[in-house]
Chains A and B, each alone.
Chain A
Amino acid sequence: MDWFIAGFLVQDGLTAAAVYALIAFSMVLIFSVTRVIFIGIGEFLSFAALSMAALQSGNVPATVLLLIGLGFITFMALLWQAFIGKNTRIREQLLIDAIKLIVVPVVFYFVLSFYAPMRGNVLIDITLILLLMLPFGGMIYRIFYQPIAEASVLILLIFSVAIHFSLLGLGLLMFGPEGVRTLLITDVNINLLGIPVTGQAIFIVILTLVLIAALWLFFTRSLTGKALQATAVNSRGAHLVGIGSHEAGRLAFTLGIVLAALCGVMISPIATIAYDTGFLIALKGFVAAIIGGLYSFPVSALGAILVGIVEVFSAFWASTYKEIIVFTLIIPVLLWQSLNGKHHH
């Protein structure tokens, strides 16, 4: 193995690691606020990539129909709570919710059908897709997770498996079985110490670093961030700050899904994404998140780097045994982390 090969593999592994790290962050974020291990996060990565591909081939992504459908169901659930459940607080907010859940998705549909045939700029595409993915978190939390928010971690996990099945089925229904690639943000290629690196890869790594910084600022500086973290530690404390645990849950899901969507649109120019690819990326992100004990952002990032690097190098050394190597190597890491990290809990 010479310098070129090693360097090339490292840059490939780091690009992957950046994506795994972002997925790990969204998992840690969602878990620490709601105790939900949301494995459906991977499907949203796929949805974002596939929606972007649809948009770039001049079609309205089916995801917007899903949004309209989910918005409608959520609103029906609210109506039920407001009138059958006689919840006056919800009743007062019904008009705002109607706009948020019914009007906005429909308007979005028209915006997209107007925009899609025009073939605009990649950055506009990305912005639109992220906006499209923004409302999902709140809706998913509201319809599905709010009613069983108090269940045990195991039951929440199995519940997430059920949601994952449905999302996977929806992905196949909306986008078909074949994979897509989207347009590059930049086709610049850089030669870094003799290693060719794509501009897209550099973009992904820089974006991840920026997001790490942003998340850090959000959690340590902003009031909402602090409140979210307070919910993670103690939901009563968060109540005192003025954020209900359900509001925090919705916020965590929204942030988590937008992060996953960002991963999707970032990686789809350099990796083929199909409806079921997201789950496998999420699995790697999950590994990284657990290496971080499902609470530590920096350790999760280290875990992501570990997974990304081990993966590319084992693919190089013995591709037939790649998965066996990757997953067997995880076990000692977990053991070491578990025995060292006990007092943290």
Chain B
Amino acid sequence: MKLRVFSSLPILPSFFLIIMVALPLLPVPGYWITLINYIGLYSLVALGLVLLTGIGGLTSFGQAAFVGIGAYTTAYFSTAMDVSPWFGLFIGLGLTLISALAIGMITLRMAGHFLPLATIAWGLSLYYLFGTLEVLGQYDGLLGLPAISFFGFELRSSEEIYYLIWLFVLLAVWSVNNLLNSRPGRAIRALRDGPEMAEAMGVNTQWKKVVIFLYAAALASVSGWLFAHMQRAVSPSPFNLVSGIEYLFMAVLGGILHVWGAVIGAAAFILSKELIQGIVPLVGIEVNIELIIFGMMIALVLIFARNGLWSLVEHFIPPNRKIEFNPDAAPLTKRIKPEVGSRVLTVNSIVKRFGGLVAVNGLSFHIDAGEVLGLIGPNGAGKSTTFNLVTGTLSATEGDIHFCGESLKGEHAREIVARGLGRTFQHVQLIPDMTVIENVALGAYLRGSFSAQGGVIASLFKLNKNEEDRALAEASRQLKRVGLEDEMYQEAGSLSLGKQRVVEIARALCSDPLLLLLDEPAAGLRHKEKEELADLVLQLKSEGMSLLLVEHDMDFVMNVTDRILVVEFGTPIATGTPSEIRENPKVIEAYLGGIE
């Protein structure tokens, strides 16, 4: 993902900054400044949507209601209570966060189209609430708000409030950018495309959804606060559903996958309306065709630039995905490895039923430290189910699983990875538009310190330098270990399947596992790629790693494992060393015979 415009192109942003600072000082018509102010206000909300909808995959039509909470809170406190607008900002933020937390806890569990509709529902409820509450002036709203004062200086005119608005916008862009390039941020970027994978890396995806929902709501609330004191009056209508739709509209128009898409989208939205207002009187004032032209213009933009206007800008920016970090950062703390030969994993007669279907029927096996076990069997033998039972994606109907002597019963995938069970996926689960090193660093998710250094708040304000250095240095070490250091800064989606599987192994290694579980690592690989993969497995074994290989490909397994377990219809039919298995008549009949 190309999120690093500031670092990749220092000239462009600093030029932009200089213009932004100088603009009101130049003899620019005051109205331009007003328009730019509105662009700023809308950008804040749209930016929240980039984080929430574009990156996180959670579509919300309800942001206007949070703008409303921010605006109404400060309006109420600064008129009825006569307190400083700054106080109103913090109360507004507090109220917004509390309501967003309550709403988020309830609705963010929803899947599919239910969530967007829920956002419409609570957005409308809040909007009508503004119109019916007597303390908020019902449909008349609240009038006569004071201007924001800054160290005794009142920000009354467009030029004066301009700096405050854009200070917030730039802060917001900066903070969202920081967040996305951090430990929690990489987890957030996995929410849309790989929630299951993120859980398996130890991410509490439900909570991450709440986090971005809260931040998007907070940005909307700040926008409402600025809007209220710029407009000096609030009434319900700017916070209705149509505005909620319009914010999403801006984000998509600008490019919902990119922080600057929010700003460009807001600018395009407002400027095109202005442009049309300038053209229409030439046609005649007795008709209203603004809305018609506006709709058509947007439709055309989307037809020709489906991913928003930013994608056109991006066209001219040379991609630079290099990420700066200190490679000599102190290494992350490691787990104490079990002694070679001690029992790592014990699976004791597990059974898994799906309704009437028995997928796994009384399977038992164990793995010792430093050992490579292969689990093979024909399609539908229950291999994947077994894999999912061990990694906590599914829970067993009967039987138990012990890891390093402790039961995994009832444990969630997140807790299991925390115990030192690293895994890969049968269908590669990388975030394709994230660089390889970032994908791998996601594996170290649980190895960071949470609140002080690597938490969301620290990440927003870039207080996580040390934390980031250590995580990225670890990721680069693991990439070196698997031989992919040259591909470190490529987009993961651009690699061949073979390399993507290796990236998955590196990501799993990044979690410092005691046991590595590989789910059909050779599936779909070419011969050469298989050989390289086999070498990697042997290398890991020689480094003392314990491995469980669930595989379909017989030859591959024969060459790299110490022991093999063959299953069919959910029951074990043979176990032994590769050479024993090769000669086992049952196996030849059930499995090898079937293929050849």
Check A-B contact in the complex, CB < 8 A.
yes
Which residues of A pack against B, CB within 8 Å? 144, 147-148, 151, 154-155, 157-159, 161-170, 172-173, 283, 286-287, 290, 293-294, 320-321, 323-324, 327-328, 330-331, 334-335, 337-339, 342, 345
Q: Please, how many residues of chain B have a CB less than 8 angstroms from a CB on the other chain?
A: 45
Once the chains are docked, how many angstroms separate the CA of A196 from the CA of B300?
Answer: 51
Pairwise interchain contact A164-B295, C-beta atoms closer than 8 A: yes
For this complex, 18 residue pairs linking A to B, each with C-beta atoms less than 8 Å apart, are A144-B299, A148-B306, A151-B306, A159-B299, A165-B291, A165-B292, A169-B290, A173-B287, A173-B288, A283-B120, A283-B241, A328-B121, A334-B114, A334-B118, A335-B107, A335-B110, A337-B114, A338-B110
- Nearest chain B residue, comparing its CB with the CB of A39: B245
- Nearest chain B residue, comparing its CB with the CB of A162: B298
Pairwise interchain contact A334-B110, C-beta atoms closer than 8 A: yes
Q: A166-B296, A290-B114, A330-B117 are in contact. Are A147 and B303 (CB under 8 A)?
A: yes
How many Å from the CB of B118 to the closest CB on chain A? Answer: 5
B132 contacts across to A, CB distance below 8 A: 320-321, 324
B307 contacts across to A, CB distance below 8 A: 155
Once the chains are docked, how many angstroms separate the CA of A157 from the CA of B118?
Answer: 16
A293 contacts across to B, CB distance below 8 A: 112-114
What are the nearest 7 A-B pairs in CB distance? A166-B295, A169-B291, A165-B295, A169-B292, A162-B298, A338-B114, A338-B110
Q: A154-B59, A161-B248, A345-B111 given. 15 additional CB < 8 A pairs?
A: A154-B256, A158-B252, A162-B302, A168-B295, A169-B289, A169-B295, A287-B120, A287-B121, A294-B113, A323-B125, A327-B122, A327-B128, A331-B121, A335-B109, A338-B114
Chain B residues numbered 91-134 whose CB sits less than 8 Å from any CB in chain A: 106-107, 109-118, 120-122, 124-125, 128-129, 132
B302 contacts across to A, CB distance below 8 A: 148, 151, 155, 158-159, 162
Question: What is the number of contacts between chain A and chain B, taking CB atoms within 8 Å?
Answer: 130
A151 contacts across to B, CB distance below 8 A: 302, 306
Chain B residues numbered 302-337 whose CB sits less than 8 Å from any CB in chain A: 302-303, 306-307
Once the chains are docked, how many angstroms separate the CA of A328 from the CA of B121?
Answer: 6
Verify if B344 is at the interface (C-beta below 8 Å from A): no
Once the chains are docked, how many angstroms separate the CA of A164 from the CA of B291?
Answer: 10
Verify if B42 is at the interface (C-beta below 8 Å from A): no
Pairwise interchain contact B253-A158, C-beta atoms closer than 8 A: yes
Verify if B249 is at the interface (C-beta below 8 Å from A): yes
Q: A162-B299, A165-B294, A169-B290 are in contact. Are A331 and B111 (CB under 8 A)?
A: no
- Nearest chain B residue, comparing its CB with the CB of A279: B242
Once the chains are docked, how many angstroms separate the CA of A165 from the CA of B292?
Answer: 6
A287 contacts across to B, CB distance below 8 A: 117, 120-121
A148 contacts across to B, CB distance below 8 A: 302-303, 306
How many Å from the CB of B390 to the closest CB on chain A? Answer: 23
How many Å from the CB of B229 to the closest CB on chain A? Answer: 27
A290 contacts across to B, CB distance below 8 A: 113-114, 116-117
Chain B residues numbered 63-82 whose CB sits less than 8 Å from any CB in chain A: none
Q: Mark B214-252, 1 if CB is under 8 A from A, else 0.
A: 000000000000000000000000000100010011001
Once the chains are docked, how many angstroms separate the CA of A144 from the CA of B109?
Answer: 34
B116 contacts across to A, CB distance below 8 A: 290
Verify if B53 is at the interface (C-beta below 8 Å from A): yes
Choose one: B107, B288, B296, B306; the contact of A172 (CB below 8 Å).
Answer: B288
A166 contacts across to B, CB distance below 8 A: 291-292, 294-296, 299
Q: A162-B295, A293-B113 are in contact. Are A331 and B287 (CB under 8 A)?
A: no
How many Å from the CB of B344 to the closest CB on chain A? Answer: 34
How many Å from the CB of B84 to the closest CB on chain A? Answer: 32
Once the chains are docked, how many angstroms separate the CA of A330 from the CA of B117?
Answer: 9
Once the chains are docked, how many angstroms separate the CA of A294 from the CA of B107?
Answer: 18
Pairwise interchain contact B124-A163, C-beta atoms closer than 8 A: no
Pairwise interchain contact B292-A173, C-beta atoms closer than 8 A: yes
Pairwise interchain contact A324-B288, C-beta atoms closer than 8 A: no
B291 contacts across to A, CB distance below 8 A: 165-166, 168-169, 172
B124 contacts across to A, CB distance below 8 A: 323, 327
- Nearest chain B residue, comparing its CB with the CB of A292: B113
B114 contacts across to A, CB distance below 8 A: 290, 293, 334-335, 337-338
Pairwise interchain contact A163-B299, C-beta atoms closer than 8 A: yes
B293 contacts across to A, CB distance below 8 A: 169
A158 contacts across to B, CB distance below 8 A: 248-249, 252-253, 302
How many Å from the CB of B150 to the closest CB on chain A? Answer: 37
B249 contacts across to A, CB distance below 8 A: 158, 161-162
Pairwise interchain contact A339-B109, C-beta atoms closer than 8 A: yes
Once the chains are docked, how many angstroms separate the CA of A325 from the CA of B109?
Answer: 22
Once the chains are docked, how many angstroms separate the CA of A285 from the CA of B121?
Answer: 13
How many Å from the CB of B461 to the closest CB on chain A? Answer: 30
Once the chains are docked, how many angstroms separate the CA of A181 from the CA of B303?
Answer: 38
Pairwise interchain contact A167-B295, C-beta atoms closer than 8 A: yes
Choose one: B241, B252, B298, B299; the contact of A154 (CB below 8 Å).
Answer: B252
- Nearest chain B residue, comparing its CB with the CB of A337: B114
Once the chains are docked, how many angstroms separate the CA of A283 from the CA of B59?
Answer: 17
Most A Cβ at <10 Å: residue of B132, B288, B292: B292
- Nearest chain B residue, comparing its CB with the CB of A151: B306
Pairwise interchain contact A324-B125, C-beta atoms closer than 8 A: yes
Once the chains are docked, how many angstroms separate the CA of A107 from the CA of B117?
Answer: 42
How many Å from the CB of B308 to the closest CB on chain A? Answer: 9
Once the chains are docked, how many angstroms separate the CA of A158 from the CA of B253?
Answer: 8
A172 contacts across to B, CB distance below 8 A: 288, 291
Pairwise interchain contact A345-B292, C-beta atoms closer than 8 A: no
Once the chains are docked, how many angstroms separate the CA of A92 from the CA of B288?
Answer: 40
How many Å from the CB of B58 to the closest CB on chain A? Answer: 11
How many Å from the CB of B10 to the closest CB on chain A? Answer: 32
A159 contacts across to B, CB distance below 8 A: 299, 302
Pairwise interchain contact A165-B298, C-beta atoms closer than 8 A: yes
Most A Cβ at <10 Å: residue of B122, B132, B299: B299
